[in-house]
Each structure stands twice: as C-alpha cells, then as structure tokens.
Structure 1
Amino acid sequence: MDKLTIGAQPLMFPMPAVLVGSNVNGKANYMAVAWAGVANMAPPMLCVAINHVRHTYKGIEENGTFSVNIPSSSQVVETDHCGMVSGAREDKSAVFETFYGKLKTAPLARECPVNVECKVFQKVDCGSHVLVIGQIEEVHVSQDCMTDGHPDISKVDPIIYSFGDSGYWKVGEKIGKGFSVGRSYKKE
C-alpha cells in the first residue's frame, strides 16, 4: 500500500465529540471538544485538551471540576453550537437542562445519554492546549441506553468527529468482540 506524507497534525480516528461542562462564575457552560480520551483505568481517568483561553477552561480552573457529556447523534446541532459559540459572549446554560451529581460544581447535560463527573487530577501545558486529566468520580447513563447492565454504544449513538473533513459521523456496525476475535489469527 503506497503512503503519502501529509505533515505533522493531530490526526486520530475516531475522535469522540463530547461536551465538556464547567461552572464559570456560578453558571453552567458547555463546550464541544473532540480531543478527549481515556487516561487511566485504576483509578479511572479521562483527559481533554482545551485551549488556554476558552471560557470553559476558566471554570475548570475556578472549581477544579468538570464534566464530560457524551451526546447522541440526534444532538449534533446543539453540540456543534456549543463548539462554535464562546460562553464568554453567549450564555449557553439553556442549551441543555443542567443537573448536578456527586460533584456540585460539574454541570451535567441531562439530555446526553452519558455524563461523567471529573475532579481535576493534573493539568499539563502542551503549548496551544492544556491537557486536563480528570479523575472520574461518577458516571450517569440513561436507563434506555443500557444492555445487560452496561452502556450500549448502539443505544448511546455517540457523535464521532473527523479531523480531516471536519465532519460529524455516526458509529457503524460491530465487527468483532475485543480480546476475542484475535484468537482466529493464524501466522503464515
């Protein structure tokens, strides 16, 4: 397979489109983020990369807490809006109904099928962005998105962001079971 070099860029597939929530001056604010992922298993942690000047980052600094809300594909318009508009210029607190869980300063978007409450564990200044590592304090999942006691990706129907074309995508079909399908590999 021939390869082309395209230069250094933060290209990763897939990238989840999530909403990072923080209270800024006592008001809930949500920001769309595609640079997010798992940071650790025990204790469980997530990380998000946020530009230093973002309004949401001010709330993270202020409270030491944040939320990661996983919207469904039916919420792509609201999610994109939260990424296009700064909370410093427009009040986004009414885009989603906010509730609070264990952490009283991490706003959670009720309409999102999955909400993760995080306490800041560490911040790493990477240059243009700060990598905020959050220790997960609690996870909330809509009952109708569960199957056999676990969140079901087909029911959550998360939004996937594509860096190359700036497109939003839906999850496709299941192609195998992790830590299982590889057993069929045969050395040649």
Structure 2
Amino acid sequence: MDKVTLGPMPYMSVMPSVLVGTTLKGRANYMTAGAATVACMAPPMVCVAINKARYTAKAIEENKTFSLNFPSVGQVAGTDYCGIVSGAQEDKSKIWTSFYGRLKTAPMAEECPVNLECSLFKAVDCGSHLLHIGEVVEVYADKACMTDKKPDVSKVHPIVYAQAMYFDLGKPLEKAFSAGKRYVKK
C-alpha cells in the first residue's frame, strides 16, 4: 500500500451531524456540530467539541445543560443553517419547534427523530475547543423511527458529515460483534 503523509489533523472518516440545543438569556438556540460521540456507557455520557468563542459554549456554561438532536436527511438545510449563522446575531429557535424535558433548560428540536437531554458533567479545555461531556438524563425518540423499542438508524436517516459534505448512511454491511467471529479459531 502506498501511503502519503498529510500532517496532524483530527481526521475521522464520518461524524454524525447533530444540533446542540442550549438556552442563553432565556432563548432557545441550536448549533450544528460534527464533533460529537459517546463518552461513556455507564453512566451514559456523550461529548461534543465546541469552539470556545461560540455562543453555544457560553450557553452551556450558563445553564450546565445541553441537548444533542439528531436531524434526518430531509432536514439538511435547517441543520446547515444552524452551523453557519450565530445565535448571537440570529434567533435560530424559529427553525425548530422546541420542547423541554426534565432539565427545563436544554431545548430539544421536536422535528428531529432522536433527542438526548444532557446535564453537563465536565468541560475539558482542549485548546481552540471545549469538549463538553454531558450525562444523558433522558432520550426521546419518535415512535415512527423505533424498532424493537430502540431507535432504528434506517428509519432515523441521520445526516453524517465528512470533508465539508453531508451524507446519508449507506446500507448495513454486517452485524457488529458477530462478523469478526469468522477469525476466531475453533
């Protein structure tokens, strides 16, 4: 294999596109983020990296809460808008219908098929960004996107981000924790 060096960068082949829901000065706000992932399984935690200068970072600091909302492919324009316009200049809450759960300060977008309501566990200074680690206090999912009492990715149709483009997920390949068993010696 002929490899080339590209220099240090936080390359990930694909990332989920999420809307980070926050409240600042009593107003709901949504910011698009691609740097979000699972942080811990027990207790359930997720994390999202947000530039320190972003309006959303200030909102998380104010309330110690946020939500991660998973838009579907039909919502790509609204999702992109929330990433290119600052909540400091525009009221982006009008793009989505906000609802609130147990924490009362983490707005969630009703139109998104899956929403995670989070309490801030810790913010880690990583340089240009703060890594916000949130404990998931509740997950909300549309009944229409469920299979066997769990969100079904084929029904959610989440937006994935890679190299400045949005993508839909492809077809399933193989079952995790099963496909690799063909290499197990018997």
Aligned match of 1:83: 83
Partners of 2:171 and 2:82 in 1: how far apart? 28
What is aligned with 1:120? 120
> 1:31 & 1:144 partners in 2: Cα distance?
25
2:181 aligned partner, one-letter code:
R
Separation in structure 2 between the aligned mates of residue 185 and residue 133 of structure 1, nearest angstrom:
36
TM-score w.r.t. length of structure 2: 0.97
Q: Distance in 2 between matches of 1:78 and 1:173?
A: 25
Runs (5+) with no aligned partner, structure 1: none
Q: Does residue 87 of structure 2 align to residue 102 of structure 1?
A: no
Residue by residue, what CA displacement relative to the aligned partner does 1:102-138 show, whole Å, maximum 9, x if unpaired? Answer: 1100000000000000000011000000000000000
3-state SS of paired residue (2:173): coil
How many equivalent residue pairs? 185
1:30-61 residue CA offsets vs partner (Å, 9 max, x unmatched): 00000000000000000000011111111101
Amino acid at match of 1:92: K
Aligned to 1:67: 67
Give the distance between the partners of 1:116 and 1:85, measured in 2 at CA. Answer: 23
Could you tell me how far 1:185 is from its partner in structure 2? 2.1
Gapped regions of structure 2 (runs ≥ 5): none
Residue 183 of structure 1 is aligned with which of 173, 181, 184?
181
User: Which secondary structure state, in structure 1, belongs to the residue aligned with residue 93 of structure 2?
Assistant: coil
Superposition deviation, residue 13 in structure 1: 1.9
**Partner letter of residue 70 of structure 2?**
I
Distance 1:110 1:125 in 2: 31
Letter in 1 for 2:176: G
Distance in 1, Cα, partners of 2:65 & 2:167:
29
Q: Distance in 2 between matches of 1:103 and 1:14?
A: 30
Classify the secondary structure of the residue corresponding to 1:137. Answer: strand
Q: Which residue of 1 aligns with 2:31?
A: 31
SS in 1 for 2:101: coil
For 1:91, give the aligned amino acid.
D
Dislocated runs of 4+, deviation >6 Å: none
Superposition deviation, residue 149 in structure 1 = 1.1
- 2:175 matches 1:172: no
Any idea what SS the aligned residue of 2:94 has? coil
Shift of 1:10: 1.1
In structure 2, distance between residues paired with 1:13 and 1:119? 28
Task: Please give the TM-score of this superposition, normalised by the length of structure 1.
Answer: 0.96
Q: Which amino acid aligns with 1:124?
A: V
Alpha-carbon distance between aligned partners in 1 of 2:178 and 2:143, rounded to the nearest angstrom: 28
